[in-house]
Amino acid sequence: MDAWLTGGDRGNATRLIVVDRERFPAIVDALGAPARRWCESNGFAGDSGRWLALPDGDGGNAAILVGSRADAGPYALAWLPLTLPLGNYQLDSRGIALDAGDCALGWALGAYQFTRYRKPARAAARLLVDNQIAQAIEPLAQAAYLVRDLVNTPTEDLGPEQLAACVRELAAAHSAQYCEWVGDELLAANFPTIHAVGRASHRAPRLAQLTHGPAGAPHLVLVGKGVCFDSGGLDIKTADGMRWMKKDMGGAAHAIALAQLVLTLRLPVRLTLLVPAVENSIAGNALRPGEVVLTRAGLSVEIDNTDAEGRLILCDALAYAGEQKPDLIMDFATLTGAARVALGPDLPALFANRDELAGQLQAAADAAHDPLWRLPLWRPYLPMLESHVADLANAGASRHAGAITAALYLERFVPEAQPWAHLDVYAWNDAAKPGRPRGGEAQGLRACFEFLRRRYG
């Protein structure tokens, strides 16, 4: 990865002395009076997000002081790769202690640039890290890059066919089995809601499936919502609401990237990856409000709102996953704006039908510095999804508890005895922050892999 330097002459790497405001005076005093006077003359006092080069007397830099926070986790130095002058750098032990793996991961996340349609703004500075750390962190960084690249790509270049091709390419790279159902094949194979949502697009809906691993291993099923563009259907979105709907396949991007981690790092599981891929478009044959669709699970669903389409494509995939009686089902979806109203853009909403499962995911999130926040499957809200003509509706008149009712809808398609977790992710940064550039973002991905590593590894 270009963000790192794992070999070469360490003597040619500029040293980074990380300080915070609390420990800045002691660290600088230890560097000597000239360093202290230089900081005073430049107004540098260890503030987070600032750096100051210490001159060496020969026109070069003896070291660079970097203001940060010891509790910033992977983002402590993530703002540096595209800020420091181009060159090679290494951490200096004279600064505050930071976890080398966190620093390497954050450095890679901060070096990311989406360059499919334009040249990079500049090359990234490189951090010198040990080979062992690079080998441990690189798969995580590559998975985050994959999510970002997929979510950032416009729908014209990432429709249902191209999204399914990502699954097929992943299968080929790891000698996994691949199959897909396309267009009317979905009806023949009993995936009616995936077909119903995607039938109005000029690009056929499909369900992509990857399988890998021995039959006797614990069976893990990952499901990702792949709505490559969401117009809202006949319940059309406003212009503002539609502007960023290229990202409505962010759940699929997370599921694909997590599957890549499972395969790359060879977790001892039987893996199934399911990506229902559609475009929610408007045409004469578009799904209409008031229609009733008979789902794969045999439950009839009244279409209250065609803009609640993600749960429709997921319900067939979840029913299919449940038929296989796996050890665990996990799904990822950019499912509701209500989750963002409740938790904001940075916190994915976690739902789980087992307290133990939710607790393990939360513990893994804390360990990985990759937050999740549990919301309840509050079943007293199920009446909000009642229909007078079908078994249930895909939405309801109330705007209350939208993330919870969406999760409750999905739960109806998961067997009661089946462990299941659902992540409602935003998959996007509205504004740039250190290590988190504006645009597509992996959220909860490291947390989920850490959980899987602990469960199966």
Active site residues: 237, 311
Whole-number Å distance between alpha carbons of 401 and 417: 25
Residue 313 has phi, psi (to 5 degrees) of: -70, -30
CA contacts within 13 A on the Cβ side of 205: 30
Which are the contacts of 186, defined by CB distance < 8 A and separation ≥ 6? Answer: 192, 194, 195, 205, 206, 207
Angle at 12 between CA 10 and CA 18, to 5 degrees: 75
CA 276 – CA 243 distance, rounded (Å): 22
Among 252, 237, 247, 283, residue whose Cα is nearest residue 155: 247
Contact present, 47 and 27 (Cβ < 8 Å): no
Per-residue CA distances from 276 to 78, 198, 409, 455 (Å): 34, 10, 17, 26
Phi/psi of residue 42, nearest 5 degrees: -105, 5
Instruction: Find the angle CA(189)-CA(193)-CA(196) to the nearest 5 degrees.
Output: 105
Q: With 0-12 CB in 10 A as exposed, 13-18 as middle and 19+ as buried, what is 320? A: buried
Query: Which residue in 208, 186, 197, 193 sits closest to 412, CA to CA?
Result: 193
